[in-house]
Amino acid sequence: MTRLWLLVFAVLAGCIRAPDVVMVDRQTMLEEQLSGELQPLDDSLRELALVPTAADFTRSQLEAAGVDLGDDTLTQVTGVHAVMLSELERLDGLLVRRCVGEALSGLLEETPATCSGRHNAQRTSDAVHRVNRARRQLWQHLQDKTPSAAPEALRQRWREHHLSSVVCGAQVQAASGVWEVTKC
């Protein structure tokens, strides 16, 4: 019993105290990467991905290829094609529903906080990445054609021209950084 009292007295007197250095269990950057936390790499790989799309053919090209257009084949093909929305039409819908916005940078930006209605987040993200990649390629082409122009000025002029053709009701970022809806 006296040993217990001596231990209590030693703790209270300050003879026994916690160490100055306390080890905290924290993953290192390498451990985070090994566990799959590779979002920047995943984003860059998604931007580089090739996305196969259908090729448009005219009636004469189909006839030249030997496709029998006598039966209802062409009607069926055009019916299926009409049902599937193009990616740009789908993005226009997402712009109006405020799931995506035209950012000040000239790129599309996902805005899930203001999104109304249901949408496939992964499909939306993939479409935004593809459009942004195409825009960057276009800006690079414009820069190559006019090397004396400042890249930011080229992008700004392109954005001004592009915003004139954006769908009515689309979400666009104003100069103040606030998201606004375009007027028709």
Alpha carbons 115 and 89: distance in angstroms, whole number: 17
- What is the per-residue pLDDT for 102? 95
SS3 108: strand
- What is the per-residue pLDDT for 173? 93
Both tokens of residue 27?
């993953």
Give the residue among 93, 107, 115 at the shortest CA–CA distance from 167. Answer: 93
Both tokens of residue 184?
């028709």
Residues 6 or more apart whose CB falls under 8 angstroms from that of 63 comprise 69
Alpha carbons 71 and 6: distance in angstroms, whole number: 102
The burial class, CB within 10 Å (0-12 / 13-18 / 19+), for 120 is exposed
- What is the per-residue pLDDT for 95? 92
Alpha carbons 176 and 44: distance in angstroms, whole number: 29
- What is the per-residue pLDDT for 109? 94
Among all chains, which residue has been given the structure tokens 């820069």?
143
- What is the per-residue pLDDT for 127? 87
- What is the per-residue pLDDT for 89? 82
- What is the per-residue pLDDT for 90? 84
> Which residues of the chain, if any, have pLDDT below 70?
1, 6-55, 69-86
Alpha carbons 149 and 78: distance in angstroms, whole number: 44
- What is the per-residue pLDDT for 160? 92
